[in-house]
Structure 1
Amino acid sequence: MSLSLDQMKYEISSEFGVQLGPDTTSRQNDSVDGENTKRLMQMAEQQLGGRIQ
């Protein structure tokens, strides 16, 4: 999976039903950012083969 960070952000916001833009609340942005971070960590762990200690 080689999505750019922006592509990933918009994919997640679409899944969450959040329309990103100037009227998006901090809470909505935080939910998208949190999920983005979670997925990036999962990708890193998979690439390292679970060798994070």
Structure 2
Amino acid sequence: MAGSNNRGGSRRSNNLIVPQANQALQQLKFEAAQELGVTIPQDGYLGDNTSRENGSLGGYITKRLVQLAEQQLSGRSNL
């Protein structure tokens, strides 16, 4: 089936379910990068960063998102 997988294609599968959350996610990305000492260029392109930098940033963002979800589920939302 043409276009059924994302390998090598230009289609993106990470569409936001709640598009209004984009700004908050971008802010989280910049905060996480600052905490880890990873530089994010003004244009937002991370392709020149090392795999280690991008991997640590993605892992840290995921960790923070899980923490936020756990707080919301437990009723201690700090948003």
| TM-score where L is the length of structure 1 | 0.77
AA in 2 matched with 1:19: T
Query: Deviation of residue 22 (structure 1)?
Result: 3.4
User: Within 5 A, what are the aligned runs for 1:14-53?
Assistant: 14-20=34-40, 21-49=46-74
**Number of residue pairs matched by the alignment:** 48
The aligned counterpart of 2:31 is 11
- Structure 2 unpaired stretches of 5+: 1-22, 41-45
Which amino acid in the other structure matches residue 44 of structure 1? A
Q: Structure 1: where are the runs of 5+ without partners?
A: none
The percentage of aligned residue pairs carrying the same residue is: 52
> So what's the TM-score if we normalise by structure 2?
0.54
Q: Secondary structure at the match of 2:39?
A: coil
Task: Select the structure of larger CA radius of gyration.
Answer: 2
**Displaced runs of 4 or more, over 4 A:** none
Identify, as 1 or 2, the structure richer in helix: 1
> Which of structures 1 and 2 has the larger relative contact order (alpha carbons within 8 angstroms, sep 6+)?
1
